[in-house]
Structure 1
Amino acid sequence: MTPRPEPADPPHSPLRTALTSLVGVRHPLVQTGMGWVAGPRLVSATAEAGALGILASATMTLPQLRDAVREVKSRTAAPFGVNLRADAGDAADRVRLLIDEGVRVASFALAPSRELIGQLKDAGVVVIPSVGAVRHAQKVAEWGADAVLVQGGEGGGHTGQIATSVLLPQVVDAMRGASIPVVGAGGFHDGRGLAAALCYGAAGAAMGTRFLLTRESTVPEAVKARYLAAQVSDITVTTKVDGLPHRMLRSEMVAALESAGRVAALLRALRHAAAFKTYSGMSWAAMLRDGRALRHGKDLSLGRVLLAANTPMLLKAAMVDGRTDAGVMAAGQVAGVIDDLPSVAELVERTVRQAAALLRELGARVSDPPPAA
């Protein structure tokens, strides 16, 4: 297949970076692929606003993903992306779907294989894996990734321990030799953060929780209210969901998971496993295989393996069903400082405008050094 030509920057972009040139969006902002949140409505609104919207596919069957991609394409002609699980049993089929449907960007929560990267690049799809360490960025760069998204510990969901302010410049420095753009994530929610990311040397900033708290987000209003009411101290990191560090809002379910004994945890995991089996149509064998893949080499109990495969149901309970008592709510630390629900267009416009104004102001403060005597 002949690769599609690289898009050029659209006119009137106040902030042009290597990311906008690579992807063909107006603004160096990315809406991350949040499960149950980043659906066609939010992604298409983000694309129309000039940023890069990423469709979350991990909670979709293959036919559902095809329908979602086509719905986004029916709503906008702007570029968008799809987030994939590289360790999914049908990853190759999903890659083929993206290629066939002409999706511009493939993002990955885990490092994709060299073969998957090559297949996507041969078809002209931009590959942007997410990483949480310098060595992971170096690995995917060697394998041919077009850019990397690096998330610091402030980010929601599965997260690491290194703050964005430390990790991001490290990855930027490491990627200079590879000459690929770096996108910063974790702790960004406004133009100050975007300007900071650019000053660190990144080509853009990615935001999850901030896009979750917009009018186009399909998260139930009661759940959005729970986020808006949260203080920074109401956001915690727990390993009791699937054995890995998860940043989320404190909730009844988090408290129950943290206080449950092994038998109760196993019974809860089995209930969620049965619910996800019904929803997804997966076999028990496939669910256990995915659960083992999600362990990332950790020695987890059977209960944790089942929860790793079925954490999506805990998220769905809150993000789709509105059950804050029965679900979990992934949240970046910025949830504690967000207090409004703008439209996506308003959010993108004000973020870019503020960042551009700050960068102009900083530039005006810098004067050339006096000539040497």
Structure 2
Amino acid sequence: MTPLPPASPGSPGPPGSPGSLASSEPSLSTPLTRLLGVRHPVVQTGMGWVAGPRLVSATANAGGLGVLASATMTLPQLRAAIREVRARTDAPFGVNLRADAADAPDRVRLVVDEGVRVASFALAPSPSLMAALKDAGVVVIPSVGARRHAEKVAAWGADAVLVQGGEGGGHTGDVATTVLLPQVVDAVDIPVIAAGGFHDGRGLVAALAYGAAGVAMGTRFLLTSDSPVPDAVKARYLAATARDITLTTRVDGLPHRMLRTPLVASLERSGPLASLLMAARHARAHRRASGLTWPQLLREGRALRAAKSLTWPQTLLAANTPRLLKSAMVDGDPDRGVMAAGQVAAVLDDLPSCAELITRMVREAEEVLAGLRGIQNGTAP
């Protein structure tokens, strides 16, 4: 893959955008920044109901890679969102796709037709989907949770890979980032993006020391002033302690890291029948909102079941996630929804803008690197 041309560091953004940061700002050049054409090795992940045009464009204008979450959008909504991001920024951005979606080939064609420069995947895409994107010059970045998955997508031609350790929010694994990341770095020859537990410049330097080419963050970007999440919901996140963050399978049958809310506590107390009945209601709501037919929804369920080795009850439970996330992230009702959260939520206490966050991270990283050089040279205080 030919690296994308870099964004122009001192050029203003489109009318109404926050504009690019000054060309005198600090920057860290890595294989990831050169591949994507961004100024900083920081990626904002594609969080459903959260990573819309406002957050994505703010991240892009700040020099990171913003990623649109397409799973909660219809095709027309996705096209409109892509065009809105482009109206807000001239910097590169990406779209996150579900490889198991019934209309995944249509979404790939839309991404290509709209000239999106980066496509990420929550699940490993099929070789055919990846080939369609790469033939059009789109950078492909699958997310993985195991070394063998990274090796597989690298062999298929992935341009980079995002590896999330168990600290990460939402669907996650049980291996810590500090164990999983070096395994993946040693296994593949493409840029590796580290996710799970990152929020500042110290973490960025640690990821680089492990051999990663950058970091990806979800919870940290959710808790910015550019995030569309309602203020009352952000306040619940900021008040959370480590004990308030749980890993449960009772929402959708898969390990899911989130804040412990009254609804989550209720689901953990209830029997499997109550959860399945709720999932059936949410499946109907998802079909109406997505515009999918029942046969399409069934095919989507079969693909998800095969990709994650689920039972049919677990597959039905998966319908819970989009609707319950919407209750909190869009409707502002955390007591009736779920709040995906990485463990890092327990140490966050502010709501910076994306520009403030990324600039602060890079400055901290430079200070840490300078301190390490001082230790090496024997000049550290």
1:162 aligns with 2:175: yes
1:133 aligns with 2:146: yes
- Which one is further off, 96-105 or 204-213? 96-105
Task: List per-residue Cα deviations over 1:193-233 (Å, max 9, x = no partner).
Answer: 11111111110001100000001100111110110000011
Q: 2:207 aligns with which of 189, 197, 215?
A: 197
The whole-number CA distance in structure 2 between the counterparts of 1:81 and 1:65 is 12
Q: 1:117 aligns with which of 130, 134, 137?
A: 130
Give yes or no for contact 1:4–1:123 (8 Å, CA) kept in 2: no
> What residue in structure 1 maps to residue 265 of structure 2?
255
Give yes or no for contact 2:134–2:140 (8 Å, CA) kept in 1: yes
**Cα distance, 1:10 vs. partner?**
5.4
1:20 aligns with 2:30: no
Matches within 5 A, 1:303-318: 304-318=314-328
Q: 1:71 aligns with which of 68, 84, 100?
A: 84
Task: List per-residue Cα deviations over 1:88-124 (Å, max 9, x = no partner).
Answer: 1111111111111111100000001112112111111
2:289 is matched by which residue type in structure 1?
Y
Give yes or no for contact 2:7–2:91 (8 Å, CA) kept in 1: no
> What residue in structure 1 maps to residue 161 of structure 2?
148
The whole-number CA distance in structure 2 between the counterparts of 1:299 and 1:124 is 34
1:337 aligns with 2:347: yes
**Cα distance, 1:27 vs. partner?**
0.2
1:269 aligns with 2:279: yes
Q: Secondary structure of 1:139's partner? A: helix
- Which one is further off, 275-284 or 191-200? 275-284
**Cα distance, 1:300 vs. partner?**
2.5
**Cα distance, 1:261 vs. partner?**
1.5
Matches within 5 A, 1:1-373: 6-8=4-6, 14-175=27-188, 178=189, 180-295=190-305, 296-302=307-313, 304-367=314-377
Give yes or no for contact 1:195–1:359 (8 Å, CA) kept in 2: yes
**Cα distance, 1:38 vs. partner?**
0.3
The whole-number CA distance in structure 1 between the counterparts of 2:127 and 2:116 is 19
**Cα distance, 1:16 vs. partner?**
0.3
Give yes or no for contact 1:276–1:310 (8 Å, CA) kept in 2: no
Task: List per-residue Cα deviations over 1:26-47 (Å, max 9, x = no partner).
Answer: 0000000000000000000000
**Cα distance, 1:282 vs. partner?**
2.0
Runs of 4+ in 1 over 4 A off after TM superposition: 8-13
Give yes or no for contact 1:104–1:125 (8 Å, CA) kept in 2: yes
Q: Percent of aligned positions with the same letter in both sequences?
A: 70
Give yes or no for contact 1:294–1:309 (8 Å, CA) kept in 2: no
The whole-number CA distance in structure 1 between the counterparts of 2:170 and 2:265 is 17
In structure 2, do the counterparts of structure 1 residues 297 and 166 end up closer, same or farther at CA, with 3 Å as the change threshold? closer
Task: List per-residue Cα deviations over 1:168-212 (Å, max 9, x = no partner).
Answer: 11111111xx3x100100000111111111111110001100000
Give unmatched runs, 5+ long, in structure 2: 10-22
In structure 2, do the counterparts of structure 1 residues 297 and 74 end up closer, same or farther at CA, with 3 Å as the change threshold? closer
Give yes or no for contact 2:3–2:37 (8 Å, CA) kept in 1: no
The whole-number CA distance in structure 2 between the counterparts of 1:33 and 1:123 is 22
The whole-number CA distance in structure 1 between the counterparts of 2:299 and 2:323 is 17
1:356 is matched by which residue type in structure 2?
E
Scaled by the length of structure 2, what TM-score is found?
A: 0.91
Give yes or no for contact 2:118–2:138 (8 Å, CA) kept in 1: yes
Q: Secondary structure of 1:325's partner? A: helix
- Which one is further off, 275-284 or 211-220? 275-284
Q: Secondary structure of 2:363's partner? A: helix
Q: Secondary structure of 1:219's partner? A: coil
**Cα distance, 1:6 vs. partner?**
3.1
Task: List per-residue Cα deviations over 1:51-72 (Å, max 9, x = no partner).
Answer: 0001000111111100000000
Give yes or no for contact 1:288–1:309 (8 Å, CA) kept in 2: no
2:136 is matched by which residue type in structure 1?
A
The whole-number CA distance in structure 2 between the counterparts of 1:31 and 1:299 is 28
The whole-number CA distance in structure 2 between the counterparts of 1:282 and 1:99 is 22
- Number of equivalences: 362
Aligned alpha-carbon RMSD (Å): 1.6
In structure 2, do the counterparts of structure 1 residues 129 and 5 end up closer, same or farther at CA, with 3 Å as the change threshold? closer
